[in-house]
Structure 1
Amino acid sequence: MTVPQAPTTVILWVHPRSCSTMFEQSVLQRPKEFKVLHEPMGDAYYFGPEKVSNRFDDAKCSKDYAHFADSTFKKTWDNIIKHNSPSDPPRTFSKDMAQYIFAPTYSSATSVPSFSSTPTTSDDDDNPTLIPTSTLLSPSTVHTFLIRTPTKAIPSYHRLCYPGAPTDFDYFDPEEAGYREVRALFDFIKKAKGRTPLVLDSEDLLKSPEEVMKIWCKEVGVEFDKGMLQWDEGVQEHFAKWPGWHESAQASTGMGKGLKDHHITPSNHASGTDSPKPDHPQIVKDAIEANIADYEYLKKFVVKHEMVEDRLGGVERKE
């Protein structure tokens, strides 16, 4: 099965602190081609009437996040995959956390009421998400993935989860690391579609941004433009819904460019054999260890520049 040359909707599935907002900055440089959505499924996951996360209690949702009161999973998903109005760009790009379409381990939910009238398919029995297969795998949608090593992503997440944090995440929850859900979603799409979804690694993105963005552009059917590699530093209203999380992306001036020292995760500094190893709290070390296997599994599918021609020619890579 081949990917449509110009799917109406392109989704980049990620886990927290995967450098995905910097990736999103790149797509924001294509305003005539893409309507860009910033983690829309989080509206339903955290705040809506069907919320499955216990991160914020009902009282806080009603007080501080009342504007998401009608954000059901179906309404939010439909906004991602619907065809744009004539005044909008022709295509939609959505960057979202894979865990936002899963029921957490502490929840027994396998479906949500808002999708009760959506047709089911035989693949729904294997579908691990809250989104019915018929709409999750819409022919007009292409799914891509971006991952980052837990040794960097998890300490970065921990750094922004503490009492009084500007992110409003006042504690660190290892269950929010997100790798398990990325892997489960990847495996389901791979099996159901009969084709390996595109997986990229943020380490490659930061080292070789032009090559990696060319890979992504070919996958989703757009011409690469070097203008995607740089932008002006500054506050983006686009990221306002999640305060405190995106200072590094807003401080950047391109892929990995313009970052200040206080925006860099401590583990990023340990680049050489003689570099000091970061001394993380035990809860962070345990979370890193718990997610390494899922990251290493996904990394086997990461597409490098030299693999592109085989991929476009329909040749699947062997494990």
Structure 2
Amino acid sequence: MNRMIGLWAHPRSRSTILERVFIERGDFEVFHEPFSHMAFDEQSAIPHGDLNCGMPRDYDAIKALLRDARQRAHVFHKDMAYHCLTPLKADAEFLAEQQNVFIVRDPARAIVSHHAIFPQMPAHAIGHQALYEVFCEVRRLTGKTPCVINAENLASHPETTLRRLCDHLQLDFLPEALSWNARCPEQWKAWRSWHKDAENSTTIMPDSADFDPRPLHDNPHLMAYDQLHRPFYERMNQFTEQGQP
């Protein structure tokens, strides 16, 4: 049977640039945030493109779409855990039928980046807590620790990080998938405004060394978000790239 890989993320975690590697591999049908279509529509305040793009709008229909795709090809889908947290946590069958990978980024960087695009973001949309809850459920179901990728490791050491991921997933490592021509893949168009850096990239680049935390520290609202989500980041980060095959 064809395989399915789910990359679960929080916003601004570098998950899209990791998804780009799987687009470039060419051996997976790649879905970009399919469950976002159950969380948002054209009337939602969050910045978006054309959400009337033919994607189903409810959890079961989106899951069926992924399963149908798996009948014809290997499937890779990337999504934010908070988009579908309640039904996903209750769906042991769906979680168990795929290989689940998680990516985390330090909340300070993620929050500042998120706020720059969507200042009205609600607390739950920072996403680390929801991601941790799904991580714990996968760990409980499988009895194994799933693979967790640290976004800074991915950015600073992309080849090493991706070789480890491929080893975990029992995939061939394809070095040619780490470079590409700058473009917007079709999958990204509904959320294009969120992915400008990824769209203009030609490879995985390191984070800027001159990160300025002042927008976080000067904003009590954002500091509260950091304090809420940092414990979940720290719990997951201790398992970085230690997943058991």
Shift of 1:191: 1.1
Shift of 1:43: 0.9
Report how many aligned residue pairs link the two structures. Answer: 240
Q: Structure 1 residues 297, 236: closer, same or farther in 2, change over 3 A? A: same
Q: Take 1:23 and 1:69, find their aligned partners in 2: how far apart are those partners? A: 22
Deviations along 1:174-223, one digit per CA (max 9) or x if unpaired, are: 22111111101001110111111000101100111001101111122210
Query: Is the contact between residue 25 and residue 177 of structure 2 (CA under 8 Å) also seen in structure 1?
Result: yes
Query: Is the contact between residue 101 and residue 131 of structure 1 (CA under 8 Å) also seen in structure 2?
Result: no
Cα RMSD over matched residues?
Answer: 2.6
User: Which of 57, 66, 73 is the aligned partner of 2:59?
Assistant: 73
Deviations along 1:97-148, one digit per CA (max 9) or x if unpaired, are: 1111124xxxxxxx5xxxxxxxxxxxxxxxxx3652223322xx11011110
Q: Which residue of 2 aligns with 1:148?
A: 105
Consecutive unaligned residues of structure 1, counting only runs of 5 or more, are 1-5, 49-54, 58-63, 104-110, 112-128, 163-170, 271-275, 313-319
Q: Take 2:213 and 2:190, find their aligned partners in 1: how far apart are those partners? A: 34
Instruction: Output the amino acid matched with 1:224.
Output: F
Instruction: Output the amino acid matched with 1:99.
Output: Y
Query: Is the contact between residue 229 and residue 254 of structure 1 (CA under 8 Å) also seen in structure 2?
Result: yes
Deviations along 1:239-296, one digit per CA (max 9) or x if unpaired, are: 1011310001011110117x9xxxx7xxx523xxxxx642332211211121110000
- Give the secondary-structure state (helix, strand or coil) at the position aligned to 1:302: coil
Matches within 5 A, 1:238-277: 238-256=187-205, 269-270=210-211, 277=213
Q: Which residue of 2 aligns with 1:298?
A: 236
Query: Is the contact between residue 231 and residue 253 of structure 1 (CA under 8 Å) also seen in structure 2?
Result: yes
Instruction: Output the amino acid matched with 2:179.
Output: Q
Q: Take 2:131 and 2:25, find their aligned partners in 1: how far apart are those partners? A: 26
Instruction: Output the amino acid matched with 1:91.
Output: H
Question: TM-score, length-normalised on structure 2?
Answer: 0.88
Give yes or no for the alignment of 1:16 onto 2:4. no
Deviations along 1:143-183, one digit per CA (max 9) or x if unpaired, are: 01111000100110010014xxxxxxxx2222211111110
Q: Structure 1 residues 82, 219: closer, same or farther in 2, change over 3 A? A: farther
Q: Which residue of 1 aligns with 2:23?
A: 28
Matches within 5 A, 1:79-228: 79-84=65-70, 86=72, 90-103=73-86, 129=88, 131-138=90-97, 141-162=98-119, 171-228=120-177
Superposed structure 1 runs of 4+ greater than 4 Å apart: 64-70
Query: Is the contact between residue 44 and residue 68 of structure 1 (CA under 8 Å) also seen in structure 2?
Result: no
- Give the secondary-structure state (helix, strand or coil) at the position aligned to 1:95: strand
Give yes or no for the alignment of 1:279 onto 2:236. no
Question: TM-score, length-normalised on structure 1?
Answer: 0.69
Q: Take 1:95 and 1:207, find their aligned partners in 2: how far apart are those partners? A: 21
Q: Take 2:2 and 2:226, find their aligned partners in 1: how far apart are those partners? A: 35
Query: Is the contact between residue 47 and residue 69 of structure 1 (CA under 8 Å) also seen in structure 2?
Result: no
More divergent stretch after superposition (186-195 vs 39-48): 39-48
Q: Take 2:9 and 2:149, find their aligned partners in 1: how far apart are those partners? A: 10
- Give the secondary-structure state (helix, strand or coil) at the position aligned to 1:279: helix
Consecutive unaligned residues of structure 2, counting only runs of 5 or more, are none
- Give the secondary-structure state (helix, strand or coil) at the position aligned to 1:146: strand
More divergent stretch after superposition (212-221 vs 201-210): 212-221
Q: Take 2:71 and 2:199, find their aligned partners in 1: how far apart are those partners? A: 29
- Structure with bigger RCO (C-alpha 8 Å, 6+ apart): 2
- Give the secondary-structure state (helix, strand or coil) at the position aligned to 1:242: helix
- Give the secondary-structure state (helix, strand or coil) at the position aligned to 2:22: helix
Shift of 1:67: 4.8
Query: Is the contact between residue 89 and residue 137 of structure 2 (CA under 8 Å) also seen in structure 1?
Result: no
Shift of 1:25: 1.0
User: Which of 32, 35, 43 is the aligned partner of 1:41?
Assistant: 35
